[in-house]
Structure 1
Amino acid sequence: MKTLTALFAAAALTFGTTAAFAKDVQPDQVVKLVNEKTIKSLDELKAAAVAKHPGSTVTDSELEEEYGRYIYKVELRDAQNVEWDVDLDAKTGEVLKDARDS
């Protein structure tokens, strides 16, 4: 039982610290990053996400900074009503994650 408790505690600490390193980027900061060409425009990033699932619509999106890297997270719904989570590197547009939402 002690081992199981320790395992849960370690997992909670791991997940807790991971979340602490991701922070939302505020709208005024987004404009600055785009203007400085630090990240691609949000329209370009959305288009790249939708290109992974043609005909889908964006239901939500946010820009986060994780470990000094800007990640654009997009939630999509396709024509079959399936939801997708697509994460992109906001600087390069590279797709980092493309997973069906469960």
Structure 2
Amino acid sequence: MKKFAALFAIATLAATAGIAQARDLGPDEALKLRDAGTIQSFEKLNAAALAKHPGGTINETELEEEYGRYIYQVELRDAKGVQWDLELDATSGEILKNHQDD
């Protein structure tokens, strides 16, 4: 029974460690990073996302820090009404993920 409790504790710590590595950044912090040149402008990041889905409209954006990397998340609807989730490296503007939302 003690082995089970120890394994459960280790599994719980491992699971919460992964969760703790992603952190949502508020508007003030995001603007400071943009103004310092650490991340690209939101206009450029939005344009990069929309270039993948011409005629689309952005519904929601979010900036996170994951493992020391700034990730810009974009939810958009394309011209055909299909919902997409994209993730961009906020420093380089590189598209990291581009998948259709279920």
Normalised by the length of structure 1, the TM-score is: 0.83
Question: RMSD of the TM alignment (CA)?
Answer: 1.8
Which position in structure 1 is the counterpart of 2:3?
A: none
1:64 is paired with a residue whose SS is: strand
Structure 2 residue identity aligned to 1:94: E
Distance in 1, Cα, partners of 2:52 & 2:79: 13
> Match for residue 88 of structure 1?
88
Q: For residue 92 of structure 1, what is the amino acid of its counterpart?
A: S
Where structure 1 has 5 or more consecutive residues not aligned to the other structure, the ranges are 1-5
Runs of 4+ in 1 over 3 A off after TM superposition: 12-17
1:37 equivalent in alignment to 2:34: no
Rounded to whole Å, the distance in 1 between the matches of 2:68 and 2:35 is: 18
Answering whether residue 97 of structure 2 is matched by residue 97 of structure 1, we say yes
| TM-score, L = length of structure 2 | 0.83
Structure 1 or 2, whichever has the larger Rg, is 2
Partner of 2:57: 57
- What is the aligned length? 94
Identity of counterpart residues, as a percentage?
54
Q: Distance in 2 between matches of 1:32 and 1:58?
A: 23
Q: Which moved more, 1:87-96 or 1:17-26?
A: 17-26
Instruction: Quote the Cα distance in structure 2 between the aligned partners of 1:79 and 1:24.
Output: 29
Deviations along 1:17-53, one digit per CA (max 9) or x if unpaired, are: 3332111111111111111100001111011001000
Tell me the equivalent position of 1:3. Answer: none
2-structure distance, mates of 1:20, 1:100: 26
> Which secondary structure state, in structure 1, belongs to the residue aligned with residue 28 of structure 2?
helix
Match of 1:47 in 2: 47
Q: C-alpha separation between the residues in 2 aligned to 1:99 and 1:15?
A: 25
